[in-house]
Chain A
């Protein structure tokens, strides 16, 4: 489809294992965001990529979290040595430029991570 695609949709892992979550943004969208939503919480900003600029990593909760975006398109969010508090839905969004001229971020359906 033409929307933002995320995989896997569901991931169950054991505490201490590493996980990778993937995001395929809409073609041509230069901006890409990662958010997460823990149970009963709002959308927590994690990281933002804009074109070839250095990403804004100010929202990453610890150094166990990292993300990269290859070729200005696909992004991978990696969580090392997962902890139970990492359990959440991880949402990716993309937009043209900053998306603010149209006010619209296009979200994927999210990757639900459960750490046992």
Chain B
């Protein structure tokens, strides 16, 4: 039973345009959400996070939006760059359990 879902396994975007990666979750107890980026043959690296008490967090070209009522969050990358091509994992944490749960990932390709 997947608690963190990323329903799009892949996404292609033209360079300079906006990339929107979506994530849905089922556990209303999650209090912290994170996005990680992974290049081939490397470990995931932290990108941006958001607390459940907020609805938006912005860091440069990256913005994460949280809609708690819909149990949905999204990562916006604008403008998209070829170097953004990677697999993006959505992750969430339940304070009741000491573990971070990851979604299956979305592979983003930014086309020059």
Contact = CB atoms under 8 A, between A and B. Distances in A.
B25 interface: no
A107 B43 CA distance: 5
* Chain B interface bracket (under 10, 10 to 19, 20 to 34, 35 or more): 20 to 34
Contacts of A50: 98
Interface string B33-53: 010100001111110010000
Nearest to A55: B98
Interface string B92-107: 0101011111111100
A45 B2 CA distance: 12
Contact of B98 (A56, A91, A103): A56
A48 B98 CA distance: 7
Contacts of A31: 98
Interface stretch (A14-22, A35-43, A62-70, A73-81): A35-43
Nearest to B50: A103
A59 B3 CA distance: 14
Given A91-B44, A110-B43, A33 B89 contact: no
A28 B34 CA distance: 22
Given A103-B34, A103-B49, A45 B43 contact: no
B32 interface: yes
A93 B100 CA distance: 11
Contacts of B102: 35, 42-45
B99 A33 contact: yes
A109 B32 contact: no
Interface in B63-112: 89, 91, 93, 95, 97-105
Interface of B: 6, 32, 34, 36, 41-46, 49, 89, 91, 93, 95, 97-105
Question: Which 4 pairs between the two chains have the least Cβ-Cβ distance?
Answer: A107-B43, A103-B49, A42-B104, A43-B102
